[in-house]
Amino acid sequence: MEELKKRAAERACKYIKDGMIVGMGTGSTVKHAIDILSKRKLRVVVIPTSVETEDRCREAGMELGSINELIPDIAIDGADEVDPEKNLTKGGGGALTREKIIDYRAKKFVVIVDESKLVKHLGEKHPLPVEVLPFAYERVRKELAEIFEKVEKRDFVTDQGNYILDCYGKITNPHEMELMLNNIPGVVENGLFTRNVWKVVVGAKKGVKTF
């Protein structure tokens, strides 16, 4: 799978041009993109979506920027699942809030995955992460348990100091679900990404596919 991820990252990096502002995601596939981009010696400013990505980009000698001051020309990020309508679940690495802030504001958002991440319905293979405030996580967990088949608290603290609740069950209405979950008091953000995807680049055994 690592080779498939690398192939997808190589294709996605071809969309990055000299002088661009680049939103850089978090996760194993994005690590390949960082390594590839650092070798191209382009003059880019990178806006990282997590402390982990920030550290990796700094080690690679990349110039870092802030979403408060810059708008990404392009964002490169992975996904846990991608459905046929280019809806995503993200947040397996726990960086969903910063990822959504940056990916949704990018002029172009490129998703890089291996072919195992393609599903008919979101929730088939991976739970949906929901970031919640520690102050209210148990109350939010009970409300989410009325919506999903199972809800589990992850042994993890986000870069913002919040908790992650992993929600299990197929999602047939991602756009409505994204909005509904964020209306629950105590929810910071959820891992449904239902807009702004420009291209999905898929590393497959038979080659790289783009849709």
Domains, the chain: 2-119+194-210 (3.40.50.1360), 128-190 (3.30.70.260)
Q: Tell me if residue 99 is catalytic.
A: yes
What is the reported pLDDT for 205? 86
Coil, strand or helix at 99: helix
54, 99, 178, 189: which is the annotated catalytic residue? 99
Count of alpha carbons within 13 angstroms of residue 140, beta-carbon side: 28
85: phi > 0 → left, psi -120 to 50 → alpha, else beta; which?
A: alpha
How far apart CA 199 and CA 211 sit, in angstroms, is 6
Give the pLDDT confidence of 91-127 residue by residue, as tens digits: 999 999 999 999 999 999 999 999 999 999 999 999 9
Q: How do strand 88-89 and strand 81-82 relate by DSSP bridges?
A: antiparallel
Average pLDDT over every residue of 54-64: 95
